[in-house]
Chain A
Amino acid sequence: MHRIQTAFDEIRADDALLAQTRASLRTRRERPDAKKFRFPPLRRAAALAAALAATLALAAGLFSHTMVFSAAAYVSIDVNPSVELTLNRMNRVIDAQPFNEEGEMLLGAASVKGLPYGEAAEQLMASADEQGYTRDDTLVAVTVQAGNAERERTLQDTLAQVLRAAATDAEVEVFPVSADLREKAHACHMSAAKYLAIQELLDVDETATLEQYSDSGIRQIRQRTRHCQDAQNDSVGGNEHGKTDVNPASESNGDGGAHTDETRGSMGRGNAHGNEHGHD
């Protein structure tokens, strides 16, 4: 018998693993419609119970009811489905709101309440993928708002990594936005991501109105924005478009998003929106 065979022969499923598998199957056979195999309910329930227990145990001194249940951050995600997640202080999803029909269907298919935000984002992307919303040229536009620049940066970086891994063919962009912008977006019945995209367009296209683009997808809006910027740049003489080198490291002022490598005219607009972000 050769060495490979000898070596693999020694790998066996141990009794504890078999017992654990049998036990979990017994429970799951009773609920065959439970969807998420990756994070089985027994383990997740145990994890959540532990988290809740820890929270309650420390409630006396350190954690309060409000930390568990009150909103501390907002993440909006637009693929085509447009949704917004509300996070608590522990970065768990405590609410999820759709901004269009596709968003409603997405939230109907993927239950994300109670999940940590990274897992929630991953599951939403997986669902969107299953439902056919992601294709080669998909754009995933995300905004975060947390009233605290450091938290926003962490959310930004993590979401960018999680979503890029989850949707390898898509472009992913993540921007921080101010509470003010988010409120304005909601007043117009749209997500912060879309509102931000439209604002950028309105800055370069004098003829455009918000109503005109409220039903458009973000990719479409960005294309229009780029088109207008190109036209402007051309008329000024020399096309600036190809020169901007998008490098996340250069966005250290925190105003830019965690961008993909594609040159994007709107990059330069990050600074113009300094007044939108209001971190101070």
Chain B
Amino acid sequence: MRSEADIDLALQAHADAVRRVCFLHLRNRSDVEDVFQEVFLKYVLGEDAFDSHDHERAWLLRVAINACKDVNKSFWSRRVSAIEDAEYRHISISDGSRDVLDAVLRLVPPKYRDVIYLHYYEGYKAAEIAAILGQKQNTIYTWLTRARKQLERTLGGEPLA
């Protein structure tokens, strides 16, 4: 079992990344708390040695994305979490960024949101993204192309320039 010091280091290094993934899939503060708990508990209980910071982050993001999927799959929890927290209550965001994020959430299908984040923000390559999402590499290439087109259509101009 990893130590409290390990947890602190992992939180310091990767909590923001996990939070971003949660932002893409969850609309509810208590769901975010649940996913955080699950991700870091698995981290605590796991014994995998990580080659690098990126490798560790990739592992955490994979667990986080799957945990978010489980939350969204659970009909019962969707039924009871009817009260959604105002999306940005716990995050202070500038207006410009809010527009971009709103566009990503509302107009980009969930599947593409992950590839957008993993590639255009985290900088993972298709092979790495394929491992994180459990997909074939070719699929990721396709998704990336479509996601980029979707983004350009949604946000106008060149949001990735």
B residues sitting closer than 8 Å to A (CB atoms) are: 1, 4, 7-8, 11, 15-16, 18-20, 23, 30, 32-34, 36-38, 40-41, 44-45, 67, 70-71, 73-77, 79, 90-94, 96-98, 100-101, 104, 116-117, 120-121, 151, 155, 158-161
Contacts and interface: CB of A to CB of B under 8 A. Distances in A.
The size bracket of the interface on A is 35 or more
Interface string A220-245: 00000000000000000000000000
A24 interface: yes
Contact residues of A: prevailing secondary structure:
helix
Contact of A122 (B1, B16, B32, B74): B74
A16 interface: yes
Interface of A: 2-14, 16-18, 20-22, 24-26, 28-29, 32, 37-40, 43, 116, 118-119, 121-122, 158, 161-162, 164-166
A10 B91 contact: yes
B96 A38 contact: no
Contacts of A122: 74-76
A20 B97 contact: no
B46 to A, nearest CB: 11
Given A11-B20, A17-B19, 4 more contacts: A4-B116, A13-B15, A28-B41, A32-B1
A217 B46 CA distance: 40
B52 to A, nearest CB: 21
21 contacts: A3-B97, A4-B100, A7-B96, A8-B121, A10-B94, A12-B91, A13-B11, A16-B90, A17-B19, A21-B33, A21-B40, A25-B44, A26-B4, A32-B1, A37-B34, A38-B74, A118-B79, A119-B76, A122-B76, A158-B79, A162-B75
B79 A2 contact: no
A198 to B, nearest CB: 30
A21 B37 contact: yes
A18 B75 contact: no
B37 A37 contact: yes
B143 to A, nearest CB: 15
Nearest to B74: A122
